[in-house]
Amino acid sequence: MDEDALHRMYSSRIYVQGVRIDGNKRTRSAVIEQQLQDAYAAQTFEDLVDALNVAQSRLQRLGIFKSLQILVDTSGDSRVSMVGADRVEHVELHIQCREKDICAMNAGAYVRGRGASSEVSGKFRNPFGLAETFELRFGISTDQSNTFRTALQLPRPFNADGTVGCSLFQAVDSFKDSSSYLESSSGGNLWFQTLKGSTNHKFCYNSVWREVSPAVDTNGKLPYESSAASVRVMRALADQSVKSSISHTIRCDGRNDAQSPTSGYMAQFKTELAGIGGDANFVKCSTKIEWLASMPGFLGERLGLVFQVNAEAGALCPFGSDRQFARGKLGTRVCDRFFLGGPSRFPGFDIRGAAGESGKRLAPQLRERDDSEEPRLTSPKRTDGLGGDVMGVLSGMLHAPLPGVAMRELGLRVGVHATVGHLVCWEFGESGALPLSNAWRRLIENPRLSAGVCLLMPTPFGKVKLSWSRVLRFEDGDALSPWQFGFGGVSA
């Protein structure tokens, strides 16, 4: 657009008389035009430019285009009309786009705890031209874990600023090393997620059937090399339930980088209400906060030293039939509780290693032996970590980039850290009321404590963390792990 045409646009009213779209082989034109409604209503060229910038941003967030460009086409006196004393310029919009491939496949393997896992997933983008995404995911592990999940999501339904989706899943999670049980679940959920600036809201409905059962080996017997499960796990049939719940998660991320932040904050709050049908009745609240700041003066400017604080807290509050269930000897359902451990949440403790309630395993079985041998017990672990109802953990870390140009380009940082936290279960009295003061006293009375050093490196797939920790205070039943490796959301 030349200077004269640009001056003419700014001095006249604007009327968008049409749109031409090139490159949308699968995407329906209505999906693109739905994002142009504000542009169609613009009456000045300045309003049109603002509306097109918003429309382009929304179209890019659909996640179905490799590239997208919106042009304003105007030329000649034939596209001019008069409305009263106002000159009206008629313009056309020209949209040039390139769509992403319809199918993307991924396969990978990783280590989680003491088991090796493999996962295959396929994502189908925009197969019906409505900007929808269909995903299939299947994973299997050496520790008897497996998962299958299918999900469908549709961005900007009815031109709303968000994404709606649903999923169906079936999974078996093995916690036999730390807790001697398997957790089976199957169900589905519906969600609506919206993002405004740095704030994300997610509203979700879940309907899930859960079952907890003692872990067995491939022969259907408890492994002779380990102790039998604790009484609480052996009675885990009581944990079978259908959870029907609604939840709301709000997340505000003001960090300067998601993978390797050095300043800013992140706060997340989640509330879940179970009891909308089903037979689980509880309110579960949790929060996570992260804050980072560069150290003042020479430490921050020259050495790049950053101080980081992470805090996490949560409470599981049963009501109705679950309150009566929790007042019994078994306590709350294991599958609803909080667990702590791992390099990201509590360094020095194994995954789910901060046991909370710990159930003493039954007398271990004797290993197979010759008649000439004396009986010998072979299991080193005597308790099952069963989690807790009230949780709190606070950690602080000082980290700085490693010296050298190559190290800085890789984003390698080294740090020292300390973590304090605890996990307790409700102890109901005669009245049956939630013993808040008692739980708070036990939470801060003798907390677990660890300290150590770590190496951090950002990657396109997540942050890698290698840490060594010394546990300074722990409880009977805890599982400790001085050397730990974490990759994104996966820990070992």
Sign (positive or negative) of CA dihedral 329, 334, 337, 342: positive
The predicted-structure confidence for 105-164, as pLDDT tens digits, reads as follows: 888 766 665 667 788 999 999 999 999 999 999 999 888 889 999 999 999 887 788 899
With CA atoms as reference, report the closest residue to 223 among 341, 113, 143, 145: 143
Of 14-23, 104-113, 397-406, which range is least confident? 104-113
The predicted-structure confidence for 38-89, as pLDDT tens digits, reads as follows: 888 888 888 898 999 999 988 988 889 999 999 887 654 446 665 555 677 8
The predicted-structure confidence for 251-305, as pLDDT tens digits, reads as follows: 999 998 877 888 999 999 999 999 998 888 999 999 999 999 999 888 877 888 9
Q: Which one-letter amino acid corresponds to residue 92? A: E
Q: What is the mean pLDDT of the chain?
A: 83
Rounded distance between C-alpha atoms, residue 411 and residue 462, angstroms: 13
Look up residue 248 and give its two tokens: 């709301």
Q: Quick one: pLDDT at residue 225?
A: 43
| Structural domains for the chain | 3-99 (3.10.20.310), 103-362+379-491 (2.40.160.50)
The predicted-structure confidence for 374-388, as pLDDT tens digits, reads as follows: 433 333 456 788 888
The predicted-structure confidence for 304-335, as pLDDT tens digits, reads as follows: 899 999 999 999 999 887 777 776 777 888 89
Higher pLDDT, 232 or 172: 172
What distance lies between CA 461 and its chain's CA centroid? Answer: 14
Higher pLDDT, 372 or 409: 409
